[in-house]
Structure 1
């Protein structure tokens, strides 16, 4: 029986661990926290998983919260003008619903399930020196912990990383009491509010430790008026600033947030990081090799909501390659090939995400504006969040965008 060690207990690490476990592999997961510590800790992300990523969970029977989590059936875009009016506002319908489950709920539950099914869980922080030993004791070591010392083993790939500094400051609040969007009171949607020159406000339904809730998520351009959360430690002050920025820049969202309260004392998060693609293979001092997983090797800015989706894609891709490899050694060539298989899925996400971090070109503004009058365009942009590879066909090139809009207008004439 092949022995595999996975360092990190997030979306990718646990999805992969549970998938390998179901195929009879001897799997150990190392986590720096127990399931109870995860469940009782601070929020970790703003995950919204679209239909393809959710299917990866269903394929492994891991969709434990599907009947409890809110079903998000649309994705809407609003653009704020300098006077805080809304010249653009539309919503596209998703082909399959999306869902968000607070990672405190999901990761704690999955970690407990992995242990209940006989998996080994080691609760301990891991240093590079620890991995030097483990690489000799296991057939394969995967690093799925996207923060801390271990990431330094994986060199930045400059050819795939156009940014070397954070492009947004991030601030998250999980809340109860948010009112419905009057434009579509009969279904739930993720709302993306673009504030040119300032940043973005995302509002999304979620399931958290205290039940159904909503996430208020500001992404601020560094140095701008939304980049004000770094020194805030008090959760209530964090929420107050969040709401004040909503009142100033997105009053239509503020109007339905008049009665919100934080879901819990751990319901806020702030930070920033540079979007980076890294080399997939880390070399240990002894010469042993480890393979990076998900955001260890492809860390995109959350502006397109792809973090947990990429993690699910990575886990599914790596699982297929591990199973196909049989009893052969997990050498450098295999590791690099396995990553490139995943990169074929992650590259379109990275291209789109990096494009959205800069000022939108004229033809993209034209697409976003046209979506308000052309529902097929709104729907296609919305469903691109599930299949970002589709943006290659109409989003990046002005000629393709113009041809696409012309075709839609003809069809609707």
Structure 2
């Protein structure tokens, strides 16, 4: 029986640990917090998982909350008319909703990670509640066949060198602010089905709204992404959750009044329902070298951390876990050497490169042909639907998004 250590209990680490466990591997999972501490703590993320990522969970029978979480059947895009907020509340220039082929879902990571961690322990996995330092891994690398690092923050990440070829940004491109709320009213357009709302405010930032399932049941996430130094970059140092929410709503009233109209009665889900921060999108070399000569393999956002503007974090984490699980199972009892580690990451990068390319494109001011595409989707439902479904399969953007000629040919084929 092969012994594997997974350090970090997020979407990818837990999914991988539970997947390996189900195939008879002897798995140890290290987490710096207990399940109860996670459940009672602060929200950790936004997460909207699309069909492919959800299917990876179903394949491992880890879709414990599928019947309770809202079924997200659409993805809407609104664009504020540039400069329309100078005199008063902004006006909308573009507004449409694309239908998803397979529904998406969001489960608060406090609910999911705590539940999965308890399941891992109940199924006989060894759960170690302890923060891990590089020195600890040096020791463990001699006692385990494979050490996987899926803790995306802290000193362990420094073992993985930044890949400058694949990391065009060295600074954070957005200031992030999240609030989980109850009491959001229905969308006036198509209230009969749940949808994620993407509101783009040119030159200022973005507001995303997504239905979710949290510790207190059905809720919605209000998520601002502000261009650093701009009018949305005001959450730094805000410690009081109520102040955080009131700032969120003030900004909605000015920049997305169509969303503010349904948010007048919202309240936070709980005292831990807010989060703010920023990080530079970074791709890193996947193999970490320990002082004693051992090697460890980085997982998910340890090695590919994209800005959340395209909502891909938990999707990528799920896809990474699935790719790594397949590589480990196929490898049998051969040693997990450097060559295997690189090949395993390369297999994931085949998927992840499309996410990184698309996300980095969305962080930049949009070129004219992309504005034309987003505008045309308001008139052409197939374009709206295709754009929405590319959130599940970002590789499809290669066919109609990046190059003006392909965008024009695609739109011509529809009209």
What TM-score results when the alignment is normalised by the length of structure 2?
Answer: 0.98
Cα deviations across residues 248-271 of structure 1 (Å, max 9, x unaligned)?
A: 100000000000000000000000
- What secondary structure is seen at the aligned counterpart in 1 of 2:142? helix
Aligned pair partner of 2:357 in 331, 351, 356? 351
Structure 2 match to 1:149 = 155
Structure 2 match to 1:139 = 145
Structure 2 match to 1:309 = 315
- What secondary structure is seen at the aligned counterpart in 2 of 1:150? helix
- What secondary structure is seen at the aligned counterpart in 1 of 2:100? strand
Deviation at 1:212, TM superposition (A): 0.3
C-alpha distance in structure 2 between counterparts of 1:113 and 1:91, whole Å: 37
Structure 1 residue 122 and structure 2 residue 96: aligned? no
Deviation at 1:316, TM superposition (A): 0.1
Deviation at 1:55, TM superposition (A): 0.1
C-alpha distance in structure 1 between counterparts of 2:116 and 2:389, whole Å: 28
Structure 1 residue 280 and structure 2 residue 286: aligned? yes
C-alpha distance in structure 1 between counterparts of 2:137 and 2:65, whole Å: 34
- 1:29-68 alignment to 2 at 5 Å? 29-68=29-68
C-alpha distance in structure 2 between counterparts of 1:158 and 1:334, whole Å: 23
Structure 2 match to 1:228 = 234
C-alpha distance in structure 1 between counterparts of 2:190 and 2:20, whole Å: 42
C-alpha distance in structure 1 between counterparts of 2:157 and 2:314, whole Å: 18
Structure 1 match to 2:189 = 183
Structure 1 match to 2:104 = 98
Aligned pair partner of 2:219 in 191, 213, 217? 213
5+ residue gaps in structure 1? none
Deviation at 1:9, TM superposition (A): 0.2
C-alpha distance in structure 2 between counterparts of 1:170 and 1:176, whole Å: 20
Deviation at 1:184, TM superposition (A): 1.1
C-alpha distance in structure 2 between counterparts of 1:265 and 1:71, whole Å: 26
**Count of aligned pairs between the two proteins:** 409
Aligned pair partner of 1:334 in 332, 340, 347? 340
C-alpha distance in structure 2 between counterparts of 1:35 and 1:132, whole Å: 26
C-alpha distance in structure 2 between counterparts of 1:314 and 1:389, whole Å: 15
C-alpha distance in structure 1 between counterparts of 2:93 and 2:297, whole Å: 47
Deviation at 1:341, TM superposition (A): 0.2
- What secondary structure is seen at the aligned counterpart in 1 of 2:64? coil
Deviation at 1:115, TM superposition (A): 0.2
Structure 1 match to 2:22 = 22
Deviation at 1:87, TM superposition (A): 1.1
Structure 1 residue 4 and structure 2 residue 7: aligned? no
Deviation at 1:36, TM superposition (A): 0.3
Cα deviations across residues 8-36 of structure 1 (Å, max 9, x unaligned)?
A: 00000000000000000000000000000
- What secondary structure is seen at the aligned counterpart in 2 of 1:402? helix
C-alpha distance in structure 2 between counterparts of 1:11 and 1:315, whole Å: 8
Cα deviations across residues 113-141 of structure 1 (Å, max 9, x unaligned)?
A: 00000000000011001000000010000
C-alpha distance in structure 1 between counterparts of 2:229 and 2:176, whole Å: 12
Q: Report the aligned-residue RMSD.
A: 0.3
Structure 1 residue 361 and structure 2 residue 367: aligned? yes
